């Protein structure tokens, strides 16, 4: 097996190994990202400090049916009349989804907003539902779990309460709530748990149903039903307020009541202002195909990229003998009509070869080479000087005679002369 064949097989094996590793990495990334579990705030199934699991258990103990739904389903699968819908963060809904929630209230449902909708119009007839609602963003700031669990309660009494179903209840914790003014919910809203700055619970009639607005969705979070529990904090009436409000009548949540919590996440691929991300609109199969194309391109680019391999031994050009090169140069110069230049090249080459063969230093003057050649060959010094010196060569015939004389001297001195021992 040649070195090039071995290198080719080695490079092919490395290519296949690299491709296999890249494919495994891509598959692992797809699996990990697809299985990644995201904890959603205000989820009725979450036992995290900001979850609603404790409230969901209390509702089920009363015989209520607890469920959850995605915001995108509000338009196609609205809650029926007599049911209850809880929207923890209405600012995460698009204009179309928020309008669908209001239409459920108009049809006879009870809709609870965890906070006032800070952007867009609350008037169900004020804008086109097909147009995006500008400037909408999640209005409820996230609170760290440790802060949510350790913050002491801030009790707030009912004050002048206009909501009859809340009569007789004690203070509630409003540590993370911002009082809501009547203008945030409606001109004829009824308030409770507030003062001149606003209230923490607002209720208004909306069509055949009821619209309730809270100061914060954290009023009903797991950690705030018994604030600062680890340091002995006592529960207030947050849970009692929730159980009385989450029902279609003054009795609150009872057996058979249906309570639906809307996920506090924006619709995938849809921003709250109604715009859509083109990537999110692609089917899963198309996304996987794009990932595979990117992986194939990277593999091809890596395979075609420049890599250093073993040194390749190349055949060198055929070397021409020095004498033949001199003759060729001389013949070229002769044909160009430069007999003197050809003669100078021939003489310089002859002196260099004779000096090397006779042990004369290479930088010795021509006169020295002439004397040594005359001594070794027995020729007259003047005759040798005429051949090896820098005399004029006027014609091509003189150049031919000079080349013949130089050849004779080379043969006599370098080939026939035996140096003394």
The helix-helix angle for 339-358 and 381-388 (nearest 10°) equals 120
Question: Tokens 């250093």 map to which residue?
Answer: 308
Q: What is the pLDDT of residue 196?
A: 79
Put the strands of the sheet holding 110-113 in their side by side order.
65-69, 258-262, 84-87, 110-113, 209-214, 198-206, 190-195
Angle at CA 384, nearest 5°, toward 381 and 388? Answer: 135
pLDDT of the residue at 414:
77
Q: What per-residue confidence (pLDDT) applies to 53?
A: 95
Of 298, 136, 328, 170, the closest CA to residue 244 belongs to 170
Strand partners, 212: 112, 203
State the Cα–Cα distance between residues 294 and 292, nearest whole angstrom.
5
Q: Which residue has the tokens 């009385």?
A: 244
Query: How far apart, in whole angstroms, are the C-alpha atoms of residue 337 and residue 317?
Result: 30
H/E stretch holding 406: helix 396-410
What 115-118 contacts at long range (C-beta under 8 Å, 24+ apart), as own/partner pairs, is: 115/88, 115/89, 115/90, 115/91, 115/139, 115/140, 115/213, 115/214, 115/215, 115/216, 115/217, 116/90, 116/180, 116/184, 116/185, 116/213, 117/90, 117/91, 118/91
pLDDT score recorded for residue 421: 41
Q: How many CB atoms lie within 10 A of CB 359?
A: 8
**Amino acid 281: pLDDT:** 65
**CA gap 421, 289 in Å, rounded:** 87
Please report, for the chain, the start and end positions of each structural domain, with discontinuous segments joined by +.
53-123+138-273, 278-304, 322-415
**What pLDDT shows up at residue 127?**
42
What pLDDT score does 56 carry? Answer: 95
pTM over 0.75: no
Kindly state the tokens that stand for 279: 């990537």
pLDDT tens figures, 129-173: 433 343 334 568 889 999 998 999 999 999 889 999 999 999 999
Alpha helices (H) along 127-282? 145-150, 182-185, 238-245, 278-281
Q: Which helix (H) or strand (E) holds 205?
A: strand 198-206
What stretches in the chain show pLDDT beneath 70?
Answer: 1-38, 119-139, 183-187, 268-281, 306-309, 318-337, 416-421
* Helices 366-377, 381-388: crossing angle, 10 deg rounding: 130
Coil vs helix vs strand at 121: coil
C-alpha triplet 74, 179, 210: angle, nearest 5°: 35
SS3 string, 216-238, reads CHHHHCHHHCCCCHHHCCCCCCH
Residues sharing a CB contact under 8 Å with residue 253, sequence separation 6 or more, in sequence order: 59, 62, 64, 84, 243, 244, 246, 247, 259
In terms of C-beta distances under 8 Å and separation of at least 24 residues, what long-range contacts does 413-420 make, across chains too?
A: 413/354, 413/357, 413/358, 413/373, 413/376, 413/377, 414/353, 414/354, 414/357, 417/376, 417/377
Distance CA 388, CA 382 (A): 10
| Helix, strand, coil share of the chain (percent; to 5) | 45, 10, 45
The pLDDT value given to residue 125: 38
How far is residue 12's CA from residue 412's CA, in Å, rounded to a whole number? Answer: 63
């Amino acid at each position: 097996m040649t070195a090039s064949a071995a290198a080719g097989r080695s490079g092919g094996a490395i290519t296949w190994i690299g491709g296999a590793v890249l494919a495994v990495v891509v598959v692992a990334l797809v699996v990990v990202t697809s299985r990644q579990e995201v904890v959603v705030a205000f989820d009725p199934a979450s036992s995290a400090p900001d979850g609603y699991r404790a409230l969901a258990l209390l509702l089920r103990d009363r015989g209520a049916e607890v469920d959850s739904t995605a915001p995108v389903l509000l338009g196609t699968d609205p809650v029926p009349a007599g049911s209850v819908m809880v929207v923890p963060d209405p600012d995460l809904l698009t204009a179309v989804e928020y309008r669908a929630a209001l239409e459920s209230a108009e049809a006879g449902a009870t809709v609870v907003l965890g906070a006032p909708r800070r952007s867009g119009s609350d008037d169900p007839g004020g804008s086109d539902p097909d147009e995006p609602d500008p400037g909408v963003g999640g209005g409820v700031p996230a609170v760290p779990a440790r802060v949510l669990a350790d913050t002491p309660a801030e009790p707030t009494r009912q004050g002048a309460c206009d909501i009859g179903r809340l009569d007789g209840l004690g203070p509630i914790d409003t540590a993370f709530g911002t009082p809501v003014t009547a203008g945030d919910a409606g001109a004829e809203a009824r308030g409770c748990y507030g003062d001149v700055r606003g209230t923490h619970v607002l209720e208004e009639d909306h069509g055949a149903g009821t619209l309730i607005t809270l100061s914060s969705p954290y009023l009903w979070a797991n950690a705030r039903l018994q604030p600062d529990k680890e340091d002995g904090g006592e529960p207030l009436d947050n849970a009692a307020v929730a159980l009385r409000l989450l029902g279609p009548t003054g009795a609150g949540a009872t057996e058979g009541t249906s309570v639906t919590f809307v996920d506090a996440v924006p619709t995938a691929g849809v921003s709250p202002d109604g715009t859509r991300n083109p990537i999110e609109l692609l089917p899963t199969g198309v996304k996987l195909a794009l990932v595979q194309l990117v992986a194939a391109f990277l593999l091809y680019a890596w395979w075609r990229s420049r890599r250093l391999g073993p040194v390749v031994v190349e055949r060198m050009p055929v070397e021409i003998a020095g004498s033949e090169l001199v003759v060729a140069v001389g013949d070229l110069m002769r044909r160009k009509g430069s007999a003197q230049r050809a003669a100078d090249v021939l003489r310089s080459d002859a002196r260099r070869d004779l000096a090397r063969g006779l042990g004369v230093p290479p930088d010795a003057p021509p006169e020295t080479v002439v004397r040594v050649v005359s001594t070794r060959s027995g020729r007259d010094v003047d005759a040798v000087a005429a051949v090896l010196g820098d005399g004029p060569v006027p014609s091509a015939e003189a150049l031919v005679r000079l080349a013949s004389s130089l050849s004779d001297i080379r043969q006599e001195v370098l080939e026939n002369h035996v140096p003394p021992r």
